[in-house]
Structure 1
Amino acid sequence: MANELIDSELLELLKSVDTPTVCNAIEVAQGKRGFSEFTHGTMICSAPKGGAMVGFAKTAKIAALSPPQEDQEITKERRMNYYQYMSEVTGPSVAVIEDVDYPNCIGAYWGEVNTKVHKGFGLSGALTNGVMRDLGDLAVDFPVVAGSIGPSHGFVHVREIDTKISVLGMSVSPNDLIHADLHGAVVIPKEVINGLKDAIKKLFASEQLILGPAEKKDFNFDSFKSAWEDFEKSRT
Structure 2
Amino acid sequence: MTHSSEALSAAVLEALGGYDTPTICNAMEIVAPERRLIGYTTKPLVCPFPDLPAIVGYARTATIRSVVASGLPAAEQAARRIAYYDYVGTGPGPRISVIQDIDGADVGYGAFWGEVQSAVHKALGCVGVVTDGSIRDIPQWAEGFQALAGSLGPSHAYVHAESFGGEVRVAGMTVRSGDLIHADQHGAVVIPLDIAAKLPDAAELCGRRETPILDIARSTSFSLEKLKAALKQASEIH
TM-score range, shorter chain: over 0.9
Alpha-carbon separation, structure 1, partners of 2:178 and 2:36: 23
Matched, 1:107 2:123: no
Q: Which residue of 1 aligns with 2:171?
A: 168
Matched, 1:212 2:215: yes
CA deviations over 1:47-81 (Å, ceiling 9, x no partner): 10011121010111111111112333322221111
Count of aligned positions: 235
Contact 2:27 2:202 (C-alpha < 8 Å) held by counterparts: yes
Alpha-carbon separation, structure 2, partners of 1:8 and 1:95: 19
The alpha carbon displacement at 1:10 in A equals 2.3
Equivalent of residue 64 in structure 1, options 57, 63, 66? 66
Alpha-carbon separation, structure 2, partners of 1:182 and 1:209: 27
Matched, 1:178 2:174: no
Contact 1:27 1:35 (C-alpha < 8 Å) held by counterparts: no
Alpha-carbon separation, structure 2, partners of 1:124 and 1:3: 20
Provide the identity percentage: 37
Aligned partner letter, 2:156: H
User: Could you say what the CA RMSD is over the residues aligned between the two structures, in angstroms?
Assistant: 1.9
Q: How does 1:35-114 map to 2 (within 5 A)?
A: 35-104=37-106, 105-114=108-117
Contact 1:93 1:123 (C-alpha < 8 Å) held by counterparts: yes
Comparing 204-213 with 70-79, greater Cα deviation is found at 70-79
Contact 2:40 2:187 (C-alpha < 8 Å) held by counterparts: yes
The alpha carbon displacement at 1:196 in A equals 1.1
Equivalent of residue 142 in structure 2, options 125, 139, 143? 139
CA deviations over 1:150-185 (Å, ceiling 9, x no partner): 000010111111111110111100110001111111
Equivalent of residue 16 in structure 2, options 14, 17, 40? 14
The alpha carbon displacement at 1:230 in A equals 3.0
Aligned partner letter, 1:75: Q
The alpha carbon displacement at 1:231 in A equals 2.8
Q: CA distance change for structure 1 residues 82 and 204 in 2, over 3 Å: closer, same or farther?
A: same
Aligned partner letter, 1:199: A
Comparing 3-12 with 154-163, greater Cα deviation is found at 3-12
* Unpaired segments ≥5 residues, structure 2: none
Q: Which residue of 2 aligns with 1:122?
A: 125
TM-score (norm 1): 0.92
Alpha-carbon separation, structure 2, partners of 1:4 and 1:181: 24
Aligned partner letter, 2:44: T
The alpha carbon displacement at 1:110 in A equals 1.0
Matched, 1:223 2:218: no
Contact 1:89 1:123 (C-alpha < 8 Å) held by counterparts: no
Q: Which residue of 1 aligns with 2:191?
A: 188
CA deviations over 1:14-53 (Å, ceiling 9, x no partner): 2222111111111111256724211111101121001112
The alpha carbon displacement at 1:232 in A equals 4.2
Alpha-carbon separation, structure 2, partners of 1:16 and 1:102: 36
Contact 2:63 2:168 (C-alpha < 8 Å) held by counterparts: yes
Q: CA distance change for structure 1 residues 108 and 198 in 2, over 3 Å: closer, same or farther?
A: same
